[in-house]
Chain A
Amino acid sequence: MNQATLLLTGHDDSSVVVDHLCDRAIENDMAVACFYYDFASREAQSPTNMLGSLLKQLLSGLEAIPAEVWLKFQGQKKVIGGRGLLLPDFVKMFPAILSSRRTFICIDALDECIPKYRLQVLNALGQILQTSPNTRMFITGRSHIRGAVERELGGRVISLSIKPKDDDIVTYLRARLRQDTTPEVMDSELEDDIMNSILEEIPETYVTVRSPETLHK
Chain B
Amino acid sequence: MSRAFANNIDSFNHNNVITFTAADDESKILAWLSPLEPQVRHQDIRNQRVDSVGDWLLGTKEFRNWYNGCGKDESDHAALFCYGDAGVGKSYIRYERSSV
- A residues near B (Cβ < 8 Å) are 6-21, 34-36, 38-40, 44-45, 48-53, 55-57, 59-60, 62-70, 73, 76-77, 82, 84-85, 96-97, 99-100, 125, 129, 132-143, 145-146, 149-150, 153, 155-165, 168, 171-172, 175-176, 202-208, 210, 212, 214-217
Contacts and interface: CB of A to CB of B under 8 A. Distances in A.
Nearest to A83: B32
A156 B79 contact: yes
A217 B23 CA distance: 32
| Residue in B51, B63, B87 with the greatest tally of chain A CB atoms within 10 Å | B87
Interface string B65-100: 111011110000111111111111001101110110
Contacts of A34: 38-39, 42
B45 A64 contact: no
Interface of B: 1-2, 4-5, 8-9, 19-21, 25-26, 28-30, 32-39, 41-42, 44-46, 48-58, 60, 62-63, 65-67, 69-72, 77-88, 91-92, 94-96, 98-99
Contacts of B79: 125, 129, 136-139, 153, 156-158
Given A161-B84, A172-B53, A204-B85, 19 more contacts: A12-B54, A17-B54, A50-B34, A50-B36, A65-B26, A70-B21, A73-B32, A76-B32, A97-B1, A100-B1, A133-B78, A134-B71, A138-B66, A157-B78, A160-B60, A171-B52, A204-B87, A205-B86, A205-B87
B71 A52 contact: no
A142 B84 contact: yes
A137 B83 contact: no
